[in-house]
Chains A and B, each alone.
Chain A
Amino acid sequence: MIRVGVDVGGTNTDAVVMEGEKFLGGAKSPTTSDILTGVENAIKSALREANTTSDNVDVLIIGTTHFVNALIQRTKLAPTGLIRMCLPSGSSILPFTDWPKSLINGMKGSYKLIKGGYEMTGNEISQLDHDELISAAKELSDKGCKQIAISSVFATVRDDMEKEALEVLTKAIPSLSITLSKSIGGMGLLERENAAIINASLKPLAEEVVDSFKLLQKSLNLSCPMFFTRNDGTLIEAKEVIELPVLTFACGPTNSMRGAAFLSGLQDALVVDIGGTTTDVGEVKDGFPRLAGTSVMVADVRTNFAMPDVISIGLGGGSVVGLNEPLTIGPVSVGHELLQKAKVFGGDTLTATDLAVASGRCQIGNKAPPSISSLEKLIEILDKMVSEQVARARTSGKVIPVIAVGGGSVMMPSKVDGLEVVIPKNNDLANAVGAAIAQVSGQVSRIVLLNDEVNRDSAIQEVTAEATSLAVKRHADPKSISVLTISDMPLSYLPGNNLLINVTVVGDLSMEDF
Chain B
Amino acid sequence: MSIKKLSFVDNKSINAVAIGGAVLGSGGGGDPYIGKLMAQQTIEESGGVKVIDIETLPDDALILPIAMMGAPTVMVEKFPSGNEFAQLIPMIEKMLTKPVAAILCIEAGGLNSTIPFAAASKLGLPIIDGDAMGRAFPELQMVTFTLGGISATPMAMVDEKGNGCNYNTISNVWTEKLARAITIEMGGSAMCSLYPVSAKDCKKYLIKGSLSLIHHIGSVIEKHSFNAYQILIKELNGKHLFKGRVRDVERYSEGGFNRGVVKLEGIDNFSNRDAKVDFQNEFLVAVEGEKVLATTPDLICMFDANTGDPVTAETIKYGLAVNILGLPCDPIWQSKEALDMVGPRYFKYDIDYKPL
Interface string of B71-91 (1 = CB under 8 A from A): 111101111111100000000
- Asked whether A86 and B42 contact (CB < 8 A) given A125-B161, A187-B73, A492-B73, the answer is no
- A123 vs B265: C-alpha distance in the bound complex, in angstroms? 44
Q: A346 near B: Cβ within 8 Å?
A: no
**B265 close to A86 (CB less than 8 A):** no
> Which one of B72, B73, B79, B258 lies within 8 Å of A92 (CB-CB)?
B79
- Asked whether A392 and B321 contact (CB < 8 A) given A490-B251, A490-B252, the answer is yes
Q: B41 near A: Cβ within 8 Å?
A: yes
**A119 close to B78 (CB less than 8 A):** yes
Q: B198 CB to closest chain A CB, in angstroms?
A: 30
**B79 close to A86 (CB less than 8 A):** yes
Q: B140 CB to closest chain A CB, in angstroms?
A: 12
**A493 close to B247 (CB less than 8 A):** no
Q: A340 near B: Cβ within 8 Å?
A: no
Interface string of A177-217 (1 = CB under 8 A from B): 00000000001111000000000000000000000000000
Q: A389 CB to closest chain B CB, in angstroms?
A: 10
> Which one of A89, A393, A394, A499 lies within 8 Å of B78 (CB-CB)?
A89
**A394 close to B118 (CB less than 8 A):** no
Interface string of B151-194 (1 = CB under 8 A from A): 00000000011100000000000000000100010011000000
Q: B14 near A: Cβ within 8 Å?
A: no
Neighbouring B residues of A294 by C-beta, 8 Å: 315
Q: A93 near B: Cβ within 8 Å?
A: yes
Neighbouring B residues of A391 by C-beta, 8 Å: 267, 321
Neighbouring A residues of B210 by C-beta, 8 Å: none
Neighbouring B residues of A87 by C-beta, 8 Å: 81
Q: A302 CB to closest chain B CB, in angstroms?
A: 8
* Count of interface residues, chain B, beta-carbon cutoff 8 Å: 47
**B258 close to A189 (CB less than 8 A):** no
Interface string of B319-346 (1 = CB under 8 A from A): 1010000000000000000000000000
**A98 close to B37 (CB less than 8 A):** yes
- A493 vs B254: C-alpha distance in the bound complex, in angstroms? 9
Neighbouring A residues of B118 by C-beta, 8 Å: 92
Chain B, residue nearest A123 (CB): B187
Q: A42 CB to closest chain B CB, in angstroms?
A: 35
Q: A70 near B: Cβ within 8 Å?
A: no
Q: A395 near B: Cβ within 8 Å?
A: yes
**A97 close to B73 (CB less than 8 A):** no
**A189 close to B78 (CB less than 8 A):** yes
Q: B269 near A: Cβ within 8 Å?
A: no
Chain B, residue nearest A84 (CB): B79
Neighbouring A residues of B2 by C-beta, 8 Å: none
- A488 vs B225: C-alpha distance in the bound complex, in angstroms? 32
- A494 vs B306: C-alpha distance in the bound complex, in angstroms? 33
**B188 close to A395 (CB less than 8 A):** no
**A188 close to B77 (CB less than 8 A):** yes
- A209 vs B187: C-alpha distance in the bound complex, in angstroms? 44
**A153 close to B34 (CB less than 8 A):** no
- A92 vs B80: C-alpha distance in the bound complex, in angstroms? 6
Q: B79 CB to closest chain A CB, in angstroms?
A: 5
Q: A120 near B: Cβ within 8 Å?
A: yes
Q: A177 CB to closest chain B CB, in angstroms?
A: 25
Q: A154 near B: Cβ within 8 Å?
A: yes
**B78 close to A491 (CB less than 8 A):** no
- A117 vs B81: C-alpha distance in the bound complex, in angstroms? 13
**A392 close to B34 (CB less than 8 A):** no
> Which one of A92, A94, A492 lies within 8 Å of B257 (CB-CB)?
A492
**A153 close to B78 (CB less than 8 A):** yes
**B74 close to A120 (CB less than 8 A):** yes
Q: A326 near B: Cβ within 8 Å?
A: no
Q: A489 near B: Cβ within 8 Å?
A: yes
**B34 close to A93 (CB less than 8 A):** yes
List residues 310-351 of chain A with CB under 8 A from any CB of chain B: none
**A490 close to B160 (CB less than 8 A):** no
Q: B310 near A: Cβ within 8 Å?
A: no
Q: A125 CB to closest chain B CB, in angstroms?
A: 7
Q: B221 CB to closest chain A CB, in angstroms?
A: 18
- A500 vs B74: C-alpha distance in the bound complex, in angstroms? 12
- Asked whether A154 and B319 contact (CB < 8 A) given A89-B160, A494-B188, the answer is no
Q: B314 near A: Cβ within 8 Å?
A: yes
> Which one of A91, A154, A490, A495 lies within 8 Å of B82 (CB-CB)?
A91
> Which one of A153, A293, A396 lies within 8 Å of B245 (CB-CB)?
A396
- Asked whether A397 and B245 contact (CB < 8 A) given A492-B72, A493-B71, the answer is yes
List residues 474-503 of chain A with CB under 8 A from any CB of chain B: 489-500
Q: A156 near B: Cβ within 8 Å?
A: yes
Q: B75 CB to closest chain A CB, in angstroms?
A: 10
Neighbouring B residues of A91 by C-beta, 8 Å: 79-83
- A308 vs B13: C-alpha distance in the bound complex, in angstroms? 33
Chain B, residue nearest A189 (CB): B77
Which among B79, B187, B256 has the highest number of chain A CB atoms within 10 Å? B79
**B77 close to A492 (CB less than 8 A):** no
Residues in A lying within 8 Å of B, measured CB to CB: 86-94, 97-98, 117, 119-121, 123, 125-126, 153-154, 156, 187-190, 283, 290, 293-294, 391-397, 489-500
Interchain residue pairs with CB less than 8 A apart (23): A89-B81, A91-B80, A119-B188, A120-B74, A120-B187, A125-B187, A153-B78, A154-B77, A189-B76, A283-B319, A394-B319, A395-B245, A395-B246, A395-B319, A397-B265, A490-B251, A491-B71, A491-B73, A493-B70, A493-B256, A494-B71, A494-B256, A495-B184
18 additional A-B pairs beyond A92-B82, A119-B188, A188-B76, beta carbons within 8 Å, are A88-B83, A90-B78, A90-B160, A91-B79, A91-B81, A92-B41, A92-B42, A92-B80, A92-B118, A93-B37, A153-B77, A188-B77, A395-B246, A491-B73, A494-B70, A494-B184, A495-B256, A498-B253
Residues in B lying within 8 Å of A, measured CB to CB: 34, 37-38, 40-42, 70-74, 76-83, 118, 160-162, 180, 184, 187-188, 245-247, 251-253, 255-258, 265, 267, 281, 306, 314-315, 317-319, 321
